[in-house]
Structure formats: structure tokens, C-alpha cells
Structure 1
């Protein structure tokens, strides 16, 4: 299979555009030597003016301009799983295309990341993507820095990778030099490949490779910047030895730094000129990564304590470790040694009557006949079953639930699971002791496979075969990667490592010899930099042992999956099952704290707008809402938020705080999965409407002709708005204060703007880049405008470009509203859906119940409702669900993300309810879709919301026409077609509902007018 990359995904394209626009209007000098990059004037004030402008949409605490004397630093924050390797690779191409930069260094912290980066850049399919899809005529020559191994007495040559990187001339067209190095080499050591001086040759007159590399004036890209803090030796080596003229840090996590002293001392993230912030909150919110469902095995009596055998001294003693959570939910560990004939009640009263009968080399024999091995972990309550075994059972349960669903798809998804363990010898056979964990895993997997084969339906022949092949050869289903494997000479281990680290496509494939391999074991070696899109379950069969970032821990499985054709699956929500041990029972709480820490919630009090919005949504007055919040202790009388109640406030009123959907991060031990049943007889009544809603349509834009574009260009230029922007008599000046760039506003005369005036050719280029218009078209538009209004030289500035871009995009938006339409995607299937299986039959339960709402109302729903449970997101939705209307044959809430109407701004829009309504003759012929808006009247809907609702009307009118055309193509003349358009049986009516409108009135109006 081939992994298919997609170009111009907004969350990936924006950081590239921002990075390149840092150099807007900045003079970049030609190199002095043929081996050098073009030279950046790092003191140019336009650089920092541009950076400041790029920070406009960042939270206040993330803004800040800083300058290092000798180089420019730019930070780009992208959450794990959102494609930062793709972004910085494409950024290399763009910086080369726009500015001629040719020498880049990528610094990574570990070998797995190094392997992943090399694999991505050198992958032939990716090379074709950047050449054929993105249109780059250049090729990256990847040079990898490796350790030098020489025999005693032999000559020491500078590695060819470094020599080729340095000596490549900038005159050579169509190539970009990229040097890939891991942090192990970025140190001052006697034998370091970059710094040793005993080579028998030189490069460009330099005997130390690092000096030759520095002479190229490279641009340094740092991957995973939290591993390269500014005060460690590696970063100092980069600054002092490599001396790049620019450092670009790409990462999900950045290092911390301390500011202030004494009581004022605080830890903050060490951002330096951050220009893009795709944090975890945004990544979840925009559905760019999987959701997370944490779970742990609970003790039978609810008490959290487990026991582990640490060491065994044959014939002498066995050392146990007891781990408990105290009253304050803190982890407490105690150890105790027992000898032969000692009672296990010394560990816990629950072991009363059990003694140690024998102590062998790797196991102990107990008086009840059981055997326990070194490393075994178990509950006292279920002594016959180890804790690890229970955790493996839970992980396999979740894995096969997901795998079965993924296998039902038209284009299947290979489903993988990752297990983190604490001892390589518990998995790999070293000839000294039995790999007990591997033994337990294979035993549990064998039993689970048998169970899954038994419940296969007749329609699941392919999946049954897949399971049977797995059962036939259990050892082929799993593989491991550990740090020791990097020096292993065993052929079988080498094959496993190659698949895990280097051959992602083979691991993701469902075809070929290794198609059943889907369980991966590692001793926390696969961390930052390694991930696989199809990891759906991570099981930590060990505690992380530190306060690692929770975001880093789950990062290995957050990426959205790809199917068997190599396509990344978007517009669906996938869940990462995360199995931990009981000592991390508060994982979700800590993860949420980290997420909301990332989103920088700094609000101290509620605004009147927030009060009005929430009051409207709940259908109460502002005064009633404020009283409610005060009674609950969340706010004071003057709307100040009480800090000690903030977390509780966020949980109860998520809509106020832009909190994530409850289904995005869940704790299965607390939030038990709600199974919402589908009433089968009701589904069959809704079947035709449901299938029609699930057909796929795309947004089509007619071309805006050149004459229209010329008129828009001319109109925008002649408006007073631009005049106001370019004729301001104040300018910003910059000064350096203790290493920080400070902006001051200085009143000045109009003559100061002359210094900002651009050359006309440069002005046209920047305008074209900011608007995607051609240079000749912009020039013609300016000429047309000049006939209506005199255009002075001071018009041609960066301010004009920015103002023009803003107003031009507004006009284009207005034009797009006139010319867009919807078209049906060909060759797509409807099923499976949230409500149906692949064959179109209704599921027993809704696939994702959280999509129906987060608030549950007790009681049995009315008979005409589609589901057996009442879930809603607002009071208006709840009122609709409980209202019994005799003219309604059947109705149901539309699960979120089912019907996503695409809109011209790239977003989507989803209605809430579907109804089958009886007409005047009492026949169920009227199909109704309703969007419930939390406003009092339609006039309160804001511009974009109103436009999206109009888009829904347009879509459903299109659906009606397309359905008729598909059914009667070539069989009807114009008159018949017009009659068919009026047909009630295939028409979908769309209505919007506000808080002041009853659903009964909407339905009665529908009946009367049809």
C-alpha cells in the first residue's frame, strides 16, 4: 500500500505561509561564497514587525518578540499527530523556492525519530507528492550523520554525507541539501564525528566538520524542542559551534524556563517568536486527532492495592512490592522480603492461610499450588489472576471491538495496538528466564481469537479468515522494539525492528505475509517522534514512573488513521483506547488540566455577552441565570469567577469555556459507556430519510470571471478604507532593551511613510502572494482604478497590501455566496453509519452515543422517538424530544458529524433533528430536518450563521433535484420534471428553530403549506 499525502490542509498550510511571510519586505542578500545560503539580515526591523503581525491571533501570554544577536529564532507549535514532519519538509521546499535557501539541518533527539524523518523524506511516494502534486521542481538530497567507525591504523576520512552537504554549490539548481543529525552528535567530545580534528582530509579548508557546516550559514530545524532546552549542552553547541543564521523549532511541547525570583518565580514555556499555535485543545476541537478513552482495571472490592514480585534469591527469599493509594490519593510503595514457609498475610490479611512453599530461580511455589514469577503483578483479591493479565484482557477487548468495526468498512483499516512494558526480558527470550509476559499475552490472545471467531456472522467471511490466520500463527501477530535492538544481530529481531521503525506501509497493510502483525511491544523506547496512524489502543503495562507530559504519553496513537488504500480518514471521530494501571486513575483529570493550561484560560469574570448566550441556550432570563450561578457558588454578585470553583464550573457549563465535547476525552471507569438502543421498528420508518441524509455532497464553486475580479480590485482600491490605512501619520519604532525588542509608537509626519514605499514590481509580487491573484490581473485593476482616482507613490506600501487583502477577501466572500452550489459525490456508499451496519440494517445500539448529547434526562422516551434514551445538548433540544405530537410518525436526533454540510469558508454545518410527519391525509409523507438555534429570534443570528443556514436550504433543494434527475433521467420532459419537483414523497424540508418557536408550530406550518 501507499500512504497518500494531502496538500493544502489548512492546519498544515497556515504555518508554512506564516513562516515564509516572516521575510516579507526583508532584503535577503546574495551569498558571498558558493557553499553558503543567502544571508538574512537578522537585525532588520521588518522581520520583527512581521512576526508581531503574525502573532495577532495568539493569546496574550504567548505573544512576544525576542531577538538573539547572531540568529533569528522562530517557533511553530503543532500538536502530536497533526503532521509537523510534513509541514517542516514542505517548508524547506517553500523557503528554497521563494528565497533560495539551500542548506538545512534537521536536528532530532533520538534514533526512532531520526529513522522516521529519514523514511518520510526518502519515501518515493512522498517525493512524487512534493514534485507532482505540490509542483516543486527541486529534490531534497538527504545526508544523514552517522558515527565514524575506523579500524586502528586506518585513515580517518570525513564522512561523505557531511562533505557532500558542505561542498554542494548554491549554483546547482533543483537540489536542496538537508543534513539529518540526532542530538547524540551535537556535543563537544573528543571522538565526536562533528568535532574531532584528526581526520586525514579537510573540507573547504576546515578540518573540523562542524566548522565547515557552520560556514554554509545553515538554517536549523529542531524537532521536539522540549528535548533541546536552551541551557543544555546540545543547544549551546548549536549556537556556538554550528552557528545557524536561523533556528526554526517545530514541536508539540516546548521547554520550560523560570522567570522572576522568590515568591514571584514561575515556570513558563520558553517560546521565542511563536507564530503558530495549534495546541491540543484546537487539535481535538477541529477533529485533527483521535479522541481518548482512558481505562484501568479496578480491584474487585474497589480498593486500589497491588503486589509485585521484584526479585527472587533462589532458596533464600523473595522480595515483594506493595503499591497502594492513600487517603489523599497519593501513591505509596512498600517492600517486604519473605522466606520459605512465611505467610503471605504479612503482606495483606487477604492472603491469610497462604504460605511460601518453595523459592526457585525465577518463580515461587505457594501452598495453594499456584506459581508466581519474577515481575508478576497481582491483586490480593483475585490472586489466581495477575493484574497484568487482566490489563491485557482489557486491552484485547478494546482492540477487537475497534478492529471488527474497522474491518467492516468498504476500505478496511488495519488496526494496531501498542503495549509498553517495564522489562525486555519479560517479552524477549534471553535463555535465562521465561518471558512470562509474552506467554501471558499469547495465552490471552489465543482465547480471545477463538471467542471472536465464534461470533463472526455469515457476512464476515473475510474477517473470520483474518482471525483464523492469526490463530494459526500467534507469534506472527506481534513484534517488539527495544533500545537493545539497535545492536542486535538476530535476523528475526532485525526484521521486526525494520517493519516497526522503517516500513510503516508494510505494518499498515492487510495484504502479504505480515498482514496479521498488529500488536507492538516496547519499553517506552517508542516515544516522541514515532507514531503510527492506526494505533487504536495503547496499554501501559507499567506506570510511566515520572510526571511525563500526558500529551507526550498518548501521542503515539493520536494521528488520524489511514485505510487500506493509503487515504487518511477525515470528518469522522476515532477513539484511542488508553489502558493504564490504577496508579494513574486520575489520568483524564491531569490530561484536561494540561489541555486547558495549553488553551490559556485567563478570564477572571463573566462578560455580559457570555451571560446572554448561556441564558438564551437554557431558555431563561439573564437574571435567573446569574442567580443560579451565584447559588452554586461559581460567581460573585459582580460576575467574578471564584478560582476554587473554576474546574467545577468548566465541567458543568462547558459551552461557556469552549470546552471540548465530552466524548473527546473520557474516563471509562467514571463515565461508563452509555449504550443507547435504537428502536428497530422506528428506524425502518426513518430509513429512506436517513439514507438520503447520509449521501455525500460536495461544495462546487463557479469561477469568478476576470472582469468581475477587475471590478472588485478597482472598487477596493478606490474606497476610502485603504486611504485611511496608508495615510496614518504614526509609525512604530523598535529598540533593544535587555535582549528584548520593544515596540514604541512615535508620532511622525506623512513623509515617514515614504521609507515604507515598495518598488512597484515588489508591490505586485506581495499582492499576488497575499491574494492568489495573478500579477497581470492586479496591474490591470490598478490601472483601471487610477483612471478614477489619483494613486500616489505612498500608496504602494505593506499597509496597503494588508488592507487590500482584508477587503478583497470580504468582497470575494460575498461573490462566493452567489456562485456556490452542491453536487453529489459519485461512487460513494451510505453504510455503515452511526445507526447502521455495512449491509444497511440498523445497529442494536448507536455507535457513538456521545454524539446525541451530553445531558441525560431520566425516564422512557415517547414511542415515536428513535432511541430508548433521552440525550440532548440544550434545553430546546430536550423540549423537542419530550414533546408528543400526534402528527409525527417518527423522529430522532441526528448524531453529530453525520450530516456535515460544507460551507465556503471551509467549515461544516450540522442540523439537529429529523422527522417523518403525516400530511393532511394522515399519511407519513413529509420529511423534515430541523436546526435548533439557541437564540430568541431569527434576527439575532449573526452573518456567518445565517449564511450557513441558507446553505442548508440550498443543499436540500439540490438533493431534491438530483434525486429526481437520477430516478427519471431521460424519461421525463420539462413539464413532467417540474411536477416531480413538487412531489412530496422525495422532498426534504428544512427549518430552523429558535428558543421562541415551538416545534409543534413548525410542524403545523409544514402540514398546512404542503
Structure 2
């Protein structure tokens, strides 16, 4: 299989943030220079080299561009470009130019594709400005190999987008012909180099600074410097040592781009996609933690471990590991325990379990209560506990979590991988043992076989395909280790830096060869490896999108943070076809990373959230007028800033409704109301900007934002379907709504053209490009050095002005771009453009890119409206299978559910807001309702603006109401304005869909509507 890449809006935003900093730079082909052949090669013909053209704009204009980029993202504005360094590594003021380099910070959360972003930035900078020499600098060989693999994997993707390939190579002081080609080739050239190659003391590392006989008596660093390369630093926080910082100016960079999730030293930050942004936008996996803690029960030494609680068709059942007397001695075994069970009897008479009778099993909080007052929580081990016991429990929990996730995702074609981090190879591969299996390998195989047999025995018949898949995999083939390999082919511990700026990183390429070079093979179902054991030193530099379970089989230390550990599994998964599983509606149903930790859930999550919060230091903490004033918002497609008066009104709104505390911090009341859709209305004069203002308020950091990012991995339960599903009322309801349909649209193209022309003439606003005038005068005292360096003129003034005479140097196929963006023919777009007013169309020359962007948006809006107005549905003979309501709902978090329910087809129903919770409570206690169900996500109505999934199916008693009634929406969350508009359009389509169903069935009693609560539902029913 091959992983497929696609351009994503959030990644495009990161690219534009960088490229727009140099707006106004002319698109100049690479400048030619004469390569010095060296003292010993004077008889050889000179060879041409190509270098990046210098930045043509004055420093003040670059700074202004950077501030514009920062302002539109509401980032702190740079006061000056103080981060210039000379050839000796000394910081110089903003006025200093020779040898200077601009430093730009790009913050992107782990797993969001920062490597993809800077590779795309390379192509985009080449396209817009002609720059072609780039150096990607990394802190370790592991990251270096990962970057090279990414360049290889994305090559075809970027050829499709840009029509050209980038030539890349890994710098090696013994393969300097590659550096020669880097300089002499006019195309896009990328060098990947790890910092040890130029800042370490070894002989090979010093070669970059020496005149070499095999390089025509030249210094490699001098050849590199003449190219004026653009430096891209991947994980710059790992490269802040003195040696590295002193070496950077020697590369003579045009400017430096710094990409990281955790910047330590800040420069001019031009883009931020932090942990909160990444999670809220569903760009990374959701994290669940299964903590394991040794904890004694008061007054007893009985060994007990509560693995978890299962929901059954009767009462909950606890899975407890305990000691049991057998003919061959005392063994620890897993037992299913129900309420009233006496553990003394279950243990075959072991005294330590006297008085241990189960009095209650609470599935909501995962606790088992005993009559002696003891309480056992999931993940807690009691009694005689050793480290080996904890490790065995962790391995078992990892396998169990893997099976649960694998069963859920198998039908979706997603292979599940689990990753174990360990301290040393000997615990996995012991070459002194006869079978060469280390302790962890033996424990894994024992626990795997036991859990597999139990799991196969409980699989329902409809999971036959998964049963065959699971049964076909040999335990010895399904686990593997990724470590260094010595000359004899044996696994060994990687050589890890003990101290210095690279502490904790390894320089051994072989440690990563298999996982880096065979990443795509690992994602194939034909490859049996599903469980990976690897060294704990593996941090930045590699990951796999399909790591769903991660286990820390190692002693905790301070060299690897929790955030670094979980970062290895945050990337969004892919299916067997290489497609990203990033559908917005279901992304966190599929993409969940389970972490099995050797500490309590509370401790692990608390530590993780603390680490994340520490890296959100630039997020504002106070929501006051001072913060809001001057911030950028978008109104009617145009950017504007919050005025002083508007800022005060926003602050008064927050104070009036107790949405901020005495320290101007956002209160929990705001977040609860935001989630429930019950926020107080903004003042009338702010309503037009409501969503933009709320988004601005949301940027203010509050600790509760972190709470939803990490969940308890033991909370999700498997919920079996109950007998309500078989009731004739529900089966009749399901048969009535279980219809598939296709839609068709027939509309007058002239009507669409007319609508688009009117909308463009009324709503299209384009800001003209600016031009910059720089004034200078000849120096009074000229020297030869000034003339040679180009410093004979001194800048005396600069100003920027808007003018219709300023124009882009790039030629655009405006008809083609708009036709592609709106999915219309070139002929239709041509008629729309020719019908526009001359004044409005002339704004294209002022700013082509904004014209195309805004016109495309307006045309798409008009097209959607026109399509839906002329939409018709035709019912088909196709129906959904009954397994759309699974016999068992997996992964249900009871903390977000209402239950135990009487009238629902499951004992619990997951709700998304307080409004839904109240609605379910009313449905379940109503005497007029026989049965109801929250419709599964697989029940979809096709619409031109995306598939639509209604909420509820409700069957009323015949004597109470002469209808079987179906209701669409009761969600109380307050989505964005764009989302609300999209939902309105989908609801319009749904009304037509159900109208068609009603027309196709005589005397049909199905009604579709949208209500906000139960009383509105009943009013709609009785008024029908």
C-alpha cells in the first residue's frame, strides 16, 4: 500500500504564514555564481553554481509583512527583527544587514504534519519567489532518516501539485559530489543534515570546515554558504547548544525557519497550531489512559486487581484477577465477578479472601464495593505486588486494548498497531536463553494466547471475518522489535547520548531502519506484525499513523516527557488504501490513542496536562478589553480589527454574564454554556460578528480546555442491545424510515449565472495590493569596500501605499481557477465574469489572489442555494441492514451517557449536551412513547452539501398519538456560523427526503421535524 497525501486547509495556512512574510519579493530565477574550482584545479574549466536571490525588500517591509501575518492569527506582534546574527554568532540589531538571517518560528503540534508543511513551503517559495536552495537541519540521525523518508513518500504528491520534483540528499562528508550537484543544479535542491555532522569533534565531522584534497582544496562549508540557503530547523529546541548556534551563521542562510511543537527560545512566531488547537480541530487522535497503580486495601493483604467492568444484559460484571487454589498450587487468574459473589468461595478457600463479598458494582465510576467496606477501583492492584506483576498487568492491558480497537476498526480496513517502550533489549530478546526470548516476550506470548482464546469465545457470529483474521495470526509472528542491529544481526541497545544538547537521542541509523523504511508495509494486513517493542530513547523522529495503543514498560525518568511519549501515536490513522481517516463527524470515534501507564490515571493525566499547559505560555490568560482591542476578525469576508469601543462592549458582556472571574479569567460557566448552546446573546451591535467574537474569546486559555483532550481508557464500555429493539413498534418504525434514495438536480443555468452576477456585484470586496517606496542617498564618504558590498547608498525613508497600479507579477488563469473551485464549466464561469460590472471585475488586477478566493466562495454559496432549491429525491429499493444497530455498541463512555434507560433500544444513550440529556430523560419517562433510539452514524441521507445523520427515531403509542414520529435535531451545542448554515441546508434536504418517503407509502405516518425539547416535540406531534 501507499499512504496518500492531500492538501489540508490547516497545513495550507501554515505554509501561507511563512510564504506571506516575503510578500513583494520578486520572482527571480536562481542567481548564477562562479564555483571556485580550488587551488589545485586551476586548469579545470570554471563551473557555474546557482544560489538563492537575496531578499529584495528592506528590513522594515519584511517586518511589516511579518506583523500582518501575526495579526491575522492574533499572535504577539514582533516589535523588531532583533534576531539577526553575524558570522561569529553574535546578535545584531535590526539595522544590521550583512550576513544577517531572519528567524521565524512555526509552532505545530506533534502529529499534525509539520514535515509535510515545510516540504510544501519549499515548493511554494520556489513557485512564488524562485528560491531553490534549502537545508533541512535536524538534531539526530533518527529524525534525519524520517525526513528523508517523507521527502521520498511525498515526491509524487508534489509533482501533481507543482509539476516538478525536488532533488534531495543526506549530507555525507565522504560523498561530496552530492554537494557539488546541490550547488550546480538550477532546480529545487534540498540537503538534509544532522547537526552532529558539523558541530561534533570527530574527524568526519570536522571535514566540513577543512580544505579537502578530494573536493578541489575547498571547504564544504564555503560551497554551502555561497548558495545562500534557506535553513529549516526541525525540532530547534534540541539544537540550542553553543556549538550549534555558533555554527549556523557559517551556512550564510538567507533566513531560518524553525518548526517545533515545543519552542524553548522564541523568535518571530508567524504560525501557531498548539495542542488545544489540534485537538479542538480534530487534527490528532484523542488520548485515553489506562493507569495501573499498586494500592493496599485497608486491613488486608488479599491480592486483587480490577481490570474493568463489563455491561451485560442484566447487571454489570467485574473482571477481577485474584489468587485461586489449584492442584498444582496457588495461581493468579482472571475471574468474572457479579454482585453478591463471595471471593472466599471463588478462591477455593483462601483465608485472605474471608469477608470479601461483592456488595455493588458501579459501572459509571468503575468501582467494586465489598461488604467489609473495601473499595477496588479499575486499574488498582492490591496485596503482594512486585514490579514484575505490574509489567505483566500492563502487557495484558495492552493486548486487551488492542483487541478491542482491532475489532472496532477491522471492518473499516484499518490495521491496528500497538507499541511497547522498554529500557533494554535483554528484556525482549535474550540471546543466552534457548528460545532467545526475553522476559517481556515470554509474558506477551502467554498473555496473548490466553486473551485471544477468551476473546474468540466471546465474539458474536456476525464477526466471523474478524474471527478468521485473528485466528490466522501466529503469536510468534505478530510481535517484533525495533532496535539497533550489530554486525552479527543481533538486536542491541542503541547508543544514546548521555549528556549535552543531544542527551537521550541516538546516532545509530540501524535502530530505525525497519520502522522508517518499511512504514507502509507495517500498515498492510498481509504483514503479521501488530505489536512493536522498541527502545524508550525513540522520541522525535518517527511515528506511525496506526499506533493505537502505547505501553510504557520502563522506569519513569526525566529525559522523556509524557508528551513526547504520546506524540509517537497522535497522527491520524490511514486505512488499507492509504486514505486518512479524518472525516470530521467520526474522526474521534476512530482515532483514539490508548496509553497504558505504570502509574495511576490521575497522576499520568495530571502530569501530561501540566506539560501541555507549560507549552501554552503564549496563550492569553485574561479576557479583557486590553486583550481584545486590535485583534483581527473577519467580517463579510474582509479582515478588520476590534476597535477600542467594541473591546469594551465584549468585556462588559463577559462581566455581566459572569463569564470571567475577578482576574479576568474565563469561568467554567462560559465553557458549560458554550457547550450546551445556552450562551447569553451578545449585544445587538455585536451580533453580526458573534461567531468571530466567540472564537476570539475561545483563544483565552482555561485549564478546562485540557480536560476533554485526555480520557480514562477504562471508561468506554461495550453496551449490548436490549429487548426494546425487537418490539413491533420499533421494527415497524425502522421499516418505514429505512429507505435509501438518490437525489437529482435540474435547474436553469441562466438562473444560476444571474444569481452569481448579482451576488458578486453586491458582495465581492477586494483589497488592492500595496507597493513600497524606499528612499536612499549616496554616502558622503565612499570607500571601495562600500561599492563592492552594495552599501554605497544609505536608506533614508520608506513608505507603503495602496494603488491600482500595483499588480501581481504572476499570471493567472482566472476562469480555470474559478471553474475548478466551484466545480462549474469554464463556459459558465466565463458568462458570470462577463456579466459582472466593469468596476467590480477590474478589482481582479488590484489583487488577483484575493479576487479568485472571494469570488470562488460567493459562487459556491450561490450554487449550493440553487441546487438545494431544485433538489428532488427518488426512493430506491435499497435498504440498510439491521446491523446498522450493532448487537453491541463498543466504546461507550458512560460518564457521557444517560441510563439505565427503560424505552431506548440500549440501556444507555450517549448525549452531547445538557439539552440532549434532558430530552432523553423526558423520552424515557413519557407515557406516550413505546420505544426510541438515537440513530446510528451509518444512517445517512445524501445531500449536495454532505451526508446528513438525523438524531432520533421515536415510536409513539397508538392510543396516545396517531403517528409514528421521527425527529431530526436536538443538539444544543453552539457550532460555528458556517456549520449552522451547513446544517440548515442539510435539514432542507432532509425535509424533501422524508416528504418523498411519505409520498411513496400510502397513509404513511412518519413525520420529520426539528425540535429543541420534549414539549416542542409533543406540540409538533399533536399539531400534525
CA deviation string 1:402-450 (max 9, x = no partner)? 122222x1x4222111101112221222439973222222222232233
Matches within 5 A, 1:553-952: 553-571=565-583, 572=586, 573=588, 574-582=591-599, 585-596=602-613, 602-604=620-622, 641=661, 655=675, 664-668=709-713, 672-673=715-716, 676=719, 678-682=721-725, 686=730, 715=762, 758-760=805-807, 762=809, 808=855, 811-812=858-859, 814-821=861-868, 839-840=883-884, 842-844=886-888, 846-850=889-893, 860-861=900-901, 863-869=902-908, 872-883=911-922, 884-893=925-934, 912-917=951-956, 925-933=964-972, 944=978, 947-952=981-986
- For the structure 1 residues 639 and 707, does the alpha-carbon distance in structure 2 shift closer, same or farther, using more than 3 Å as the test? closer
| Other structure's SS at 2:183 match | helix
Out of 401, 404, 407, the position equivalent to 1:404 is 407
- For the structure 1 residues 492 and 385, does the alpha-carbon distance in structure 2 shift closer, same or farther, using more than 3 Å as the test? closer
Q: Does 1:281 align with 2:307?
A: no
* 2:155 aligned residue: 127
Native 8 Å contact 2:724 2:931 kept in 1 = no
Determine the C-alpha separation between the residues in 2 that align with 1:826 and 1:509.
Answer: 38
CA deviation string 1:457-494 (max 9, x = no partner)? 444444344334434xx332212223x43x54417899
CA deviation string 1:950-1006 (max 9, x = no partner)? 213223145347x76xxxxxxxxxxxxxx835856496613142xxxx523433424
Q: Which runs of 5+ in 2 are unaligned?
A: 34-48, 85-99, 302-380, 493-508, 629-653, 680-696, 699-703, 776-797
User: Shift of residue 864 of structure 1?
Assistant: 2.6
Native 8 Å contact 2:398 2:596 kept in 1 = yes
- For the structure 1 residues 952 and 36, does the alpha-carbon distance in structure 2 shift closer, same or farther, using more than 3 Å as the test? same
- For the structure 1 residues 439 and 49, does the alpha-carbon distance in structure 2 shift closer, same or farther, using more than 3 Å as the test? same
Matches within 5 A, 1:149-228: 159-168=176-185, 170=186, 175-187=187-199, 189=201, 191-193=203-205, 195-202=208-215, 207-228=218-239
**Structure 1, 21-30 or 47-56: larger mean CA deviation:** 21-30
User: Shift of residue 666 of structure 1?
Assistant: 0.9
Q: Does 1:527 align with 2:539?
A: yes
Aligned length: 805
Matches within 5 A, 1:428-447: 428-431=429-432, 435-447=438-450
User: Shift of residue 715 of structure 1?
Assistant: 4.9
- For the structure 1 residues 958 and 548, does the alpha-carbon distance in structure 2 shift closer, same or farther, using more than 3 Å as the test? farther
| Other structure's SS at 1:641 match | coil
User: Shift of residue 296 of structure 1?
Assistant: 2.0
| Other structure's SS at 1:22 match | helix
Determine the C-alpha separation between the residues in 2 that align with 1:232 and 1:461.
Answer: 61
TM-score, length basis structure 2: 0.67
- For the structure 1 residues 991 and 789, does the alpha-carbon distance in structure 2 shift closer, same or farther, using more than 3 Å as the test? closer
Matches within 5 A, 1:254-265: 254=263, 256-257=264-265
CA deviation string 1:49-78 (max 9, x = no partner)? 232222234345587663544123333222
Q: Does 1:66 align with 2:66?
A: no
- For the structure 1 residues 802 and 1004, does the alpha-carbon distance in structure 2 shift closer, same or farther, using more than 3 Å as the test? same
User: Shift of residue 301 of structure 1?
Assistant: 2.1
* 2:122 aligned residue: 92
| Other structure's SS at 1:562 match | coil
Native 8 Å contact 1:562 1:568 kept in 2 = yes
* 2:421 aligned residue: 420
Matches within 5 A, 1:957-996: 957-960=991-994, 980=999, 985=1004, 989-993=1008-1012
Determine the C-alpha separation between the residues in 1 that align with 2:743 and 2:569.
Answer: 30
* 1:371 aligned residue: none
* 2:166 aligned residue: 140
Determine the C-alpha separation between the residues in 1 that align with 2:117 and 2:760.
Answer: 32
Native 8 Å contact 2:173 2:208 kept in 1 = no
* 2:21 aligned residue: 22
Determine the C-alpha separation between the residues in 1 that align with 2:144 and 2:875.
Answer: 41
Determine the C-alpha separation between the residues in 2 that align with 1:504 and 1:1005.
Answer: 55
CA deviation string 1:195-222 (max 9, x = no partner)? 242522336xx71112111111112222
User: Shift of residue 396 of structure 1?
Assistant: 1.2
Native 8 Å contact 1:952 1:990 kept in 2 = no
- For the structure 1 residues 524 and 219, does the alpha-carbon distance in structure 2 shift closer, same or farther, using more than 3 Å as the test? same
CA deviation string 1:887-934 (max 9, x = no partner)? 434223457898699896x9x987544423467995654322233447
**Structure 1, 99-108 or 388-397: larger mean CA deviation:** 99-108
Native 8 Å contact 2:415 2:576 kept in 1 = yes
**Structure 1, 187-196 or 49-58: larger mean CA deviation:** 187-196
- For the structure 1 residues 221 and 877, does the alpha-carbon distance in structure 2 shift closer, same or farther, using more than 3 Å as the test? same
Determine the C-alpha separation between the residues in 2 that align with 1:730 and 1:99.
Answer: 17
Q: Does 1:78 align with 2:112?
A: no
CA deviation string 1:295-316 (max 9, x = no partner)? 122325269x99xxxxxxxxxx
Native 8 Å contact 1:605 1:639 kept in 2 = no
* 2:245 aligned residue: 235
Determine the C-alpha separation between the residues in 1 that align with 2:286 and 2:732.
Answer: 31
Determine the C-alpha separation between the residues in 1 that align with 2:743 and 2:252.
Answer: 50
TM-score, length basis structure 1: 0.68
User: Shift of residue 225 of structure 1?
Assistant: 2.5
* 1:4 aligned residue: 4
* 2:314 aligned residue: none
Q: Root-mean-square deviation (CA), in Å?
A: 5.1
* 2:261 aligned residue: 252
| Other structure's SS at 1:565 match | coil
Native 8 Å contact 1:763 1:797 kept in 2 = no
Native 8 Å contact 1:116 1:501 kept in 2 = yes
User: Shift of residue 187 of structure 1?
Assistant: 1.1
CA deviation string 1:625-677 (max 9, x = no partner)? xxxxxxxxx999987526799898799778488655966411347xx445655
Determine the C-alpha separation between the residues in 1 that align with 2:773 and 2:669.
Answer: 44
Native 8 Å contact 2:296 2:383 kept in 1 = no
Matches within 5 A, 1:230-629: 232-238=242-248, 240-254=249-263, 256-257=264-265, 270=266, 272-299=267-294, 301=296, 381-382=384-385, 386-407=389-410, 409=411, 411-431=412-432, 435-471=438-474, 474-482=475-483, 484-485=484-485, 487-490=486-489, 498-511=513-526, 515-546=527-558, 548-571=560-583, 572=586, 573=588, 574-582=591-599, 585-596=602-613, 602-604=620-622
Determine the C-alpha separation between the residues in 2 that align with 1:29 and 1:955.
Answer: 51
Determine the C-alpha separation between the residues in 1 that align with 2:895 and 2:399.
Answer: 28
User: Shift of residue 85 of structure 1?
Assistant: 2.2
- For the structure 1 residues 117 and 404, does the alpha-carbon distance in structure 2 shift closer, same or farther, using more than 3 Å as the test? same
User: Shift of residue 528 of structure 1?
Assistant: 0.9
Determine the C-alpha separation between the residues in 2 that align with 1:680 and 1:13.
Answer: 50
- For the structure 1 residues 803 and 202, does the alpha-carbon distance in structure 2 shift closer, same or farther, using more than 3 Å as the test? closer
CA deviation string 1:840-871 (max 9, x = no partner)? 45333x33434xx85566x753x333442465
| Other structure's SS at 1:186 match | helix
| Other structure's SS at 1:18 match | helix
Q: Which runs of 5+ in 1 are unaligned?
A: 149-157, 258-269, 307-377, 611-633, 734-750, 936-940, 965-978
- For the structure 1 residues 199 and 934, does the alpha-carbon distance in structure 2 shift closer, same or farther, using more than 3 Å as the test? closer
